[in-house]
Amino acid sequence: MSPVMLYDVLIATAATLYMVIASTVFAIAIGLPLGTLLFSSDKIKPNPILNKIIAAIINISRSIPFIILLVALIPFTRLVVGSSIGIHAAMVPLTLGAAPFFARLVDNVYRSMSEGLVEAGFSMGASSWQMIKHILLPEATPQLIHAVTVTAITLVNYSAMAGTVGGGGLGDLAIRYGYQRFNLPVMLTTVAILVIIVQALQMIGDRLAKRLSHT
Amino acid sequence: MKIRLKRALFPPKGLPPRSCIQLVISMIKLTGLNKSFGKHIALQDINLSIHSGEIFGIIGRSGAGKSTLLRCINRLEEPDTGHVYVDNEEITHLKGLQLRKTRHKMAMIFQHFNLLHSKTVYDNIALPMRIQGLSEATIKQKIMELLPLVELSEKLDAYPSELSGGQKQRVAIARALSTSPSILLCDEATSALDPETTDAILELLKKINQTLNLTIVLITHEMDVVKRICNRLALMEHGKIVEETPISDVFNNKDSIARSMLYAQLSPELPQCIQRNLSQEPDDRLPLVRIFFEGHGATVPFISKTSRDLNMDINILLANVDRFENLTCGVLIAALSTNGEHLQRFIQQCEQHNLTVEVLGYVTSDVI
């Protein structure tokens, strides 16, 4: 591999990491409140209409294949970022693709918690917000970290697809050099780097969750 | 507050005069409660009054509706019809902040403790106080006050996973007491604990009932728990209260189901070797009888006297004695040396002395 090629690989790796980390953060920012609202509208302060609306939004957006979402969101992306190509443009569909996925995971995490905890909170006269702040979030933290790990790894996958529509990053590199120009070393290198990124994310997530878990 | 002082001071004719004046203040009153889950009827016309400062036990099998009943008191369950009064205030239709404020006056402990695993003992006890918005200084002071009572002083920084079941329930009790409630609701609080730990937790509940004048409502399926600490009990079956009585009156009522449950719990198991050889046919075998006695129905003079009068040997195989409030009662299983007519006369003697007797069966003499 030439030094120029190596430089391209490094740049692409940095771009992928940047895309994944930033869109994970945005996906959490949208997905955590959405998932919490989905759970609380069912179990804490029942509101069947709100619950069904949120569930519908999550289900519909999760059923759209990511590659279609990527293309369908182009006008919206242009509106937000000002361009439909490049690393920042890719972050819009990545965030919107991962947020409902993360919201569903958050809901599942709460559901796997003992119902008795919510009951105990009610018996203490906690308000909905107190229930979330004092009981749900602290008790779910280790499981929520696992959910973040799964989401980040899914975003590594999605970011490769985003590369095909000009998003940049390792996926873009693998397709342009590896697939279209039959450059096997570049292809293998990108795959190896992706494997390392996924392994690292999983390891960091597991360690963090373990440190915060007291069970 | 509705005080039945007049009745206590001037009992109406027909009622025996009370030896001491009792003030009965109603803390919880339930009237006409009904609740069903789909087709399943959980509560049926429940009327109940629980006095201030008493320990009230609700006993019944699982599925009898006692858990639903307990949860109607703090409105974790909504009754379909009926009224719930706490401290003479109707709370049946309270919503939002008012309901939460009412719940601040009550506390609840659970079978599976429901502690937060992510928080230390300190933070678990602090939780309801933080929910009520107390200052951290007040919280710390209150926790330091509570720790000796629940004997947890060394475990302040431990996480629940490092504690035993009994210690977890102590944390839950401390958490419940932290906001100085006037009512403590116990949902099968000792059912997940071993016998010794159960004893200790019951002692603790009794202690806090006396020292803090806390009204305790507990539900359980174990007669042992009720008999040990409750002042009054209600027996539930299929969503209905079938019996409600002070513990001390249980033995005065021959038809009481609670009484037969107490006896069943008191009665020792027959050893396997006797159980296997027990026959319902008299033939040449010896009768095995079970006699329940209570209070002054003192048995030993009765046994020896009857033995002389009827000229028979009474061979005591097993016996058990217990105390409920101020009443001693017990059970004994004995083999009689003769059969037929003598057995009938023995049963008559027992009935004359107000003892409950039952013939368990007949065994050959070599078994015993």
What is the full per-residue pLDDT of chain B (368 aa) written as tens digits? 444 454 444 444 444 444 445 567 888 998 888 899 888 888 888 899 999 889 999 998 888 888 999 999 989 988 999 889 998 888 888 888 888 899 999 999 999 999 999 999 999 999 999 999 899 999 999 999 888 888 888 888 899 999 888 899 889 999 999 998 999 999 988 888 888 888 888 988 898 898 888 999 999 988 888 888 888 899 998 888 888 888 877 777 777 788 777 777 777 778 888 888 888 887 778 888 888 877 665 555 778 888 888 888 888 888 888 776 667 778 888 888 877 777 888 888 888 877 878 888 888 877 76
Average pLDDT over residues A58-85: 87
Determine whether the interchain pair B116/A114 forms a contact, defined as Cβ–Cβ distance below 8 Å: no
Angle, nearest 10°, between helix axes A137-162 and A87-112? 150
What is the average pLDDT score of chain A?
Answer: 89
* Exposure b/e, B8-33, CB count within 10 A at least 16 = b: eeeeeeeeeeeeeeeeebbbbbbbeb
- Parse chain A into domains and list their residue ranges: 3-212
Whether residues A116 and B114 touch (CB distance < 8 A) is answered with: yes
Contact between B307 and B277 (Cβ < 8 Å) = no
Asked whether the beta carbons of residue A123 and residue B185 sit closer than 8 angstroms, the reply is yes
Instruction: Give the count of alpha carbons within 13 A of A39, CB side only.
Output: 25
Give the count of Cβ contacts less than 8 A between chain A and B.
65
Of the candidates A124, A214, A215, which has its C-beta nearest B127's C-beta?
Answer: A124
CB < 8 Å to A126, chain B: 100, 131
Closest CB from B74, B117, B118 relative to A123: B74
Question: For residue A50, what pLDDT is reported?
Answer: 94
Beta bridge partners of B362: B279, B287
Class of the A3-212 domain? mainly alpha
Percentage of residues in chain A having pLDDT higher than 90: 53
Least Cα separation, residue A144 to chain B (angstroms): 13
Whether residue A62 is predicted with pLDDT greater than 50 in this model: the reply is: yes
Binary contact (B116, A138; C-beta < 8 A): yes
Q: Do A214 and B161 touch (CB under 8 A)?
A: yes
- Reply yes or no on whether the pLDDT at A17 is more than 50: yes
Q: In this model, does residue A184 exceed pLDDT 70?
A: yes
Cβ–Cβ below 8 Å for A134 and B185:
no
Whether the pTM exceeds 0.95: the reply is no
Q: How many Å apart are CA B10 and CA B254, to the nearest integer?
A: 29
Q: Residue B71's pLDDT is what?
A: 92
Q: Which residue carries 């030993």 as its tokens?
A: B300
SS3 B207: helix
Higher pLDDT, A13 or B325: A13
Which of A145-154, A166-175, B74-83 is most confident?
A: A145-154
A66-80, A139-153, B302-316 — most confident range: A139-153
**For residue A139, pLDDT beyond 50:** yes
| CB contacts, 8 Å: B174 with chain A | none
Can you give the three-state secondary structure of A78-124, one letter per residue?
Answer: HHHHCCCCCHHHHHHHHHHHHHHHHHHHHHHHHHHCCHHHHHHHHHC
Out of A16-20, A135-139, B318-322, which region has the weakest mean confidence (pLDDT)?
Answer: B318-322
Interface membership of B185 toward A (CB under 8 Å): yes
- For A124, the closest of B99, B117, B131 (CB atoms) is B131
Chain B's closest residue to A44, CA to CA, is B76
Check: CB of residue A214 under 8 Å from CB of residue A143: no
A211 touches B at CB < 8 Å: no
Write out chain B residues lying below 8 Å of A122, CB-based: 76, 103
Read off the pLDDT of each residue in A27-47 and give the average, rounded to a whole number: 94
pLDDT at A207: 94
pLDDT at A40 over 80: yes
According to the model, what pLDDT value does residue A149 have?
95
Cα separation of B58 and B219, whole Å?
5
Which residue in chain B has the smallest CA separation from A45?
B96
3-state secondary structure of B298: coil
Q: Is the pLDDT of residue A23 over 90?
A: yes
CB spacing of B101 vs A125 below 8 angstroms: yes
Question: Which of A126, A135, A142 faces B116 most closely, judged by CB atoms?
Answer: A135
Per-residue model confidence (pLDDT) at position A129 = 93
Bridge partner list, B185? B108, B217
Whole-number pLDDT of residue A28 = 96
Burial B261-270 (b: 16+ CB within 10 A, else e): bbbeebbeeb
What pLDDT does B119 receive?
92
Contact B106, B185 (CB under 8 A): yes
* Selected residue of A124, A139, A210 to mutate for chain B interface (largest B Cβ count, 10 A): A124
Judged against a pLDDT cut of 80, whether residue A215 lies above it is answered with no
Query: By the CB < 8 Å criterion, does A3 face chain B?
Result: no
Q: Which residues of A touch B77 (CB under 8 A)?
A: none
* Residue A116 at interface with chain B, using a CB cutoff of 8 Å: yes
Residue type, B191: S
How far, in Å, CA of B139 to CA of B125, rounded? 9
Is pLDDT above 60 for A192?
yes
CB B87 within 8 A of CB B182: yes
pLDDT of residue B17: 45
